[in-house]
Chain A
């Protein structure tokens, strides 16, 4: 299919302005097939889907409902369970604050993981300011939640548990069936942030014990600025609206629907449903190649479980090399670093820290995320680039030298600054 795709997601050139894109977990390009579907809804079909009195509105409404059906079909939901939002951040806010507020009479305790996205953690923090209490569980060193720990954290007043399906930094897949079943047994609402999961893992909400699930389009080759929240109908889950206005989407989220964006999300999710199996096989092959290539170097560590993980994500720490200098060294590829050294703070990735990774390893991590337009040549180029640059930086690294001299770095008295 790459022949039909006219994209500037470039392959191959280090000298070019744009490096090879290996940051699909940050965002994906809009699939050209998706963009083509969207364009008429910006121009000729501009009607407001809420306009009931003329064909402009009817056409837009039909497109919106068709997209709602496509989103529902990818995840095994009823279209009436899909609420449009501006993206996964809004979906998470609506789910967590909306459910916590609605059920606050029942209890005011919430549970989540320390490795959740900030769009889950920060709404929890906000609820804490409003008088709720929250428990933040550390996952096991492989990134997965130990169900026994969740069981132990549940209190009589626990109303909501939020656990993501696929982690954005390390790509691990949580056992949401086990977590959901435990929530069911205890009468607790279960929210799942699935922003990173659509088109990567099969989701069947008809079977899954999940009450609320967040989605977004732009991680699945749709446009930015559009997302959805699944709100279970049977048994019915209630949420308090966070956005008040014209009563759109059954009053759960007011605001004129962004038809073109919604159409884009629908088409993106339709393509995901049709192509997921084939795409995952191809991406897994590329991931394995990349992993094998990188593991031919010494002192390379995969962050997060490799089995329970989407093939799209490879998060690796290159010991004794600092993350930001590594990012500088690999200008030929666009990747993310677990080192937040570029910001004013020197805190490394909180996700990797929660796995118990040392600061050094957390600082030395790179997240490679592979996607629809990644080629084998891209992977070959990346392996060669990484090898040569890691060698160069380790030649520069006093830590590498000490390691090679057999010095135990954990025993060194550092002059922290």
Chain B
């Protein structure tokens, strides 16, 4: 299968690989997918107290398109508010990376990872406010 240049670039030189401290109250973690399905994405975002994403890191087990999708979103997330992040659509990821139809699920997974990370940080914030 032929990959787009953008997929290859992210795959060869993935951006923001790594982990943040999951116990940090300002860090939200989203892990989506399943090994049995051939892809697992872990996305971590560090959010400032005024709701801006300062840092994003990922690790992905999956095909080149899955790696590229998650690498791309870490670039997109930095500097966004969590609400802007939540609004990112898989179609935008798929379009940017020129994913073929069989790889659309990779972009869906990346969107799911963002939503899961945002949900996690919101839950942490809610817990903090309740405390």
Could you list which residues of chain A lie within 8 angstroms of chain B, going by C-beta atoms?
320-325, 328, 339, 341-344, 346, 348, 358-360, 363, 395-401, 409, 414-417
Contact = CB atoms under 8 A, between A and B. Distances in A.
Given A328-B11, A343-B102, A344-B102, A396 B60 contact: yes
A331 to B, nearest CB: 10
B17 A417 contact: no
A325 B36 contact: no
Nearest to B105: A417
Interface string B29-61: 001111111111110000000000000000111
A414 B33 CA distance: 7
A417 B61 contact: no
B63 to A, nearest CB: 4
A401 B17 CA distance: 12
A325 B11 contact: yes
Nearest to B33: A417
Interface of B: 1, 3, 11, 14, 17, 19, 31-42, 59-64, 66-67, 102, 105, 108-109, 112
A354 B41 CA distance: 27
B1 A398 contact: no
A298 to B, nearest CB: 16
A159 B76 CA distance: 63
Contacts of B60: 396-398
Contacts of A320: 61
Contacts of B39: 322
21 contacts: A325-B62, A328-B3, A341-B38, A342-B102, A346-B37, A348-B38, A359-B37, A360-B35, A363-B38, A396-B14, A396-B59, A397-B61, A398-B59, A398-B61, A399-B40, A401-B19, A401-B59, A414-B35, A414-B36, A416-B34, A417-B37
Most A-side CB within 10 Å, residue of B33, B64, B108, B109:
B64
Given A325-B67, A341-B63, A415 B17 contact: no
A323 B64 CA distance: 10
B11 A414 contact: no
B35 A415 contact: no
A417 B67 CA distance: 17
Contact of A322 (B17, B61, B112): B61
